[in-house]
Amino acid sequence: MARPALEACGLTRRFGALAANEDVSLTLLPGECHAVIGPNGAGKSTLVAMLAGEQRPDAGTVLLGGEDVTALGPARRARRGIARSFQITQLCRGLTVRQNVMLAVQAAEGRNFRFLRPARSDPALTGEAEAALAAAGLAARAGVPAALLSHGEQRQLELAIALSQAPRVLLLDEPAAGLGAAGTPALTRRLAALKGRVAILLVEHDMDTVFALADRITVLAGGRVIASGRPEAIRADRAVREAYLGDIVDA
Amino acid sequence: MRERAAVLAGAAALCAAPFLLEALDEAFLLSVLTRMLAYALAAAALDLVLGYGGMVSFGHGAFLGTGAYVAGVLLHHRADGSAVTDWPVRIGGTAEALLAWPAAAIVCGLLAAAIGAISLRTRGVHFIMITLAFAQMVFFLVLALPQYGGTDGLMVPSRNVLAGASLAGDAPLYWVALVLLALFLAFARSAMAARFGLALRGARMNERRALALGLPVYRLRLAAFILSGAVTGLAGAILANQASFVSPDLLSWQRSGELLVMVILGGQGTLYGPVLGAVALLLAEEELAAITEHWMLILGPVLLVVVLFFRGGLWRVVAGARGDG
C-alpha cells in the first residue's frame, strides 16, 4: 500500500467539556477522494481545522507524507502541500479575481519579497493565473474585485485558488454549500476531473456529490468515527443509517 | 487619470514653491514647507503599515524622535569633538548626512525590528496598545539621558552637510527633503504593486486565507514595519535639521497620534493621501493657532467630519482615488 498523503492519528480536540473530536483517525491515500460525512456538530470542521493547522489537537498527530506536521501552523503546512477551501468562502475581497489567484501562485512559489517589478507584469504569476481562471470558467471575470462575484462564482474562485497552490492534499470543506441544484453537478464534474491527480479530503453534506466522488467514506458522529469504508459498505451500514443517513439514502 | 493629474499638480506646486516664495518675499516660509515635507515622509511611511498592512501603529513617534536624536546627537558630538561611545568601537560625531541619515534610518529600522517582532504577535487593540507602550518606553528612556538635554531637548549646533556641501539655508534642505519624499513615494508605490505589496495587502484583507495559502504573514508584516520605521527615522533626521533642535516631544504619544491623523485625514492606503494629510493638518494647526489658542476645539470637530463624511479622506476628494481595497 502506498504511503498515505495525509494521516490523522488519534486526533482529539476538546472545547471545555465538549469533545469536538475524540480519537479520530483516518488516512488519505495519494490520488484518492476520501469523504467525511456526519450530521451537524459531528466535528467535521474541527477535523479539517486540525488537518490544515488552524487548530492544535489536544492529543494525536497529523502526518503529511509521513512527516509529523502536528506542531506546524497553517502557513507552513500550506507550503508543504496542503491547500484548502473554506465552508464560508475566504477571499481577499478587495483584490481582483486574477490577483486572488496570482497570490496563490506566488505563495506556492514562495518568492514574496520582491519590491520592484509589478506583480501584474510578472509572467510567472500571470501565466498560471490565466490558465487557472480559464479552467474555472472565470476568465471573463478576471479583472473584477472578488467581492463583486456571485456566491457561485466565489465558490469557483475558492477552488481555483486552492488548485493554484499545486497541492498534494486538497481539503474541501463543504464545497457545494449554497450552490443549489444548478451549481452542484458542475462542481461534481470539476472535482471528478481532479481525481487521481491530487488527494482530496471532501467534507460534504450533499450525498449525491459524496457518492459520486468518494473512493472511501468516513462517518463522524458526536466527534467520533462511527464507520469508515467503501461507499457501498457505508450505504449499507446500520449504525450509519441510524445516526445520520436515514431517509436521505432511502429517498 | 484624475489621480495622476493630482499627483503632477502637487509635484509641480512643490517644485515651484521655493521660487514662488522668493518672488513673494516670503522665503522664510520655505522652512515651514520643509517641516511639512518631513512629516509627509513620516505619514507616507506610516501608511505602508496602516493603510496597506492594516497595522494600527500608535508608536511611530518613537521612530520620528529617535531618527531626530540620532542626527542631533551625531552633530552634537561632532561640535564638541567627543565620541558617542568608546566601546566596543569608538563612534565619533559627524555632520555628514550621507553617514548620519542612513544611521538614523538603520537605528530606527533596528528599533522597529525589536518593537515589531513582539508587537506583531498581537492583533487589533492589543497591537495599538503595545506599540504605544514601546513608544512610551523610548520616550522615558530618552528623558533619562541628561547628556542629551533630557526634558529640555537637544540643541543642534549646526546642520548636516551632504557629501561635503552645506545644507545651511532653507532652500537646500527643502530640495533634499523633496527628493527623499519623491524617491520614497516612487519606491513604495512600486513595492505595493509588486509581489511584496500583493502579499501584504492580501494578508490585511483576509489573514485566514493568506495563511491557508502559505504566505509568511508575520515576516511580511515585520518587513513592512521595519521599512516604515526606518523611513520615519529618516524623516526625523530631516526635522532635526529643519528645527536645529530635537525635542523629546517628537517621541511623545501625541506625535504618534498626529501621524495617524495625517494618514487617516489624507486617506489611508493611497500613499499620496497622507502627504496631503500632513500638509493639511500642519497648515490647519498653524492657521488656527494664529486665531485662537483653543485651536484644538476647532480642529477636533473638523477631523471628525472628515472621518465620518469623507471616507477615503482628502485624497479621495481631490483625486477621486480610493484607498487600497
Contact present, B57 and B259 (Cβ < 8 Å): no
Identify from A72, A98, A100, A112 which residue to disrupt to test chain B contact, counting B C-beta atoms within 10 A and taking the largest count. Answer: A112
Closest-CA distance, B226 to chain A, in angstroms, reads 14
Contact present, A210 and A37 (Cβ < 8 Å): yes
Amino acid at B96: E
* Chains A & B: contacts with CB separation below 8 Å: 113
Tell me what the mean pLDDT of segment A148-174 comes to: 95
- Contact flag B195-A76 (C-beta cutoff 8 Å): no
pLDDT at A181 over 80: yes
ipTM for the complex shown? 0.94
- Contact flag A75-B216 (C-beta cutoff 8 Å): yes
Q: Give pLDDT, residue A251.
A: 39
For domain A1-81+167-251, say whether CATH 3.40.50.720 is its number.
no
- Contact flag A114-B195 (C-beta cutoff 8 Å): yes
Which of these ranges, A14-23, B57-66, B190-199, has the smallest mean pLDDT? A14-23
pLDDT in tens, A67-84: 999 999 999 999 999 999
Chain A neighbors of B121, CB-CB under 8 A:
none
Q: Give pLDDT, residue A241.
A: 80
Look-up of cell digits 493568506:
B210
Q: Give pLDDT, residue A250.
A: 45
Percentage of residues in chain B having pLDDT higher than 90: 85
Helix, strand, or coil (residue A218): strand
pLDDT at A249 over 60: no
pLDDT grade for A245, boundaries at 50, 70 and 90: low
pLDDT at A28 over 70: yes
Q: Give pLDDT, residue A77.
A: 98
B205 vs A94, A108, A110: nearest CB: A94
pLDDT at A32 over 90: yes
Which of these ranges, A177-186, A199-208, B277-286, has the smallest mean pLDDT? A177-186
* Residue B106 DSSP one-character state: H
Q: What is the mean pLDDT of chain B?
A: 95
pLDDT in tens, A6-26: 999 999 999 998 999 999 999
Could you tell me if A95 lies within 8 Å of chain B, comparing CB atoms?
yes
Q: Give pLDDT, residue A62.
A: 98
| Annotated domain spans of chain A | 1-81+167-251, 92-166
Q: How many residues does chain B have?
A: 325
pLDDT at A2 over 80: no
Q: Give pLDDT, residue B70.
A: 97
Percentage of residues in chain B having pLDDT higher than 70: 100
Tell me what the mean pLDDT of segment B28-42 comes to: 96
pLDDT at A208 over 50: yes
- Contact flag B199-A52 (C-beta cutoff 8 Å): no
Contact present, B178 and B37 (Cβ < 8 Å): yes
Q: Give pLDDT, residue A242.
A: 78
Q: Give pLDDT, residue B303.
A: 84
pLDDT at B99 over 70: yes
Query: Where are the alpha helices (H) located in chain A, listed in sequence order?
Result: 44-52, 74-79, 97-109, 123-136, 151-164, 180-194, 207-213, 231-236, 238-240, 247-250
Q: Give pLDDT, residue B293.
A: 86
Closest-CA distance, A188 to chain B, in angstroms, reads 23
- What is the rounded distance in angstroms from the CA atom of residue A242 to the CA atom of residue A249? 11
What is the DSSP track for A55-66? S--SEEEEEETT
Could you tell me if B155 lies within 8 Å of chain A, comparing CB atoms?
no
Chain A neighbors of B196, CB-CB under 8 A:
112-115
pLDDT in tens, B165-185: 999 989 999 999 999 999 999
pLDDT grade for B292, boundaries at 50, 70 and 90: confident
- What is the rounded distance in angstroms from the CA atom of residue A236 to the CA atom of residue A91? 39
pLDDT in tens, A93-149: 999 999 999 999 999 999 999 999 999 999 999 999 999 999 999 999 999 999 999
Tell me what the mean pLDDT of segment B133-149 comes to: 95
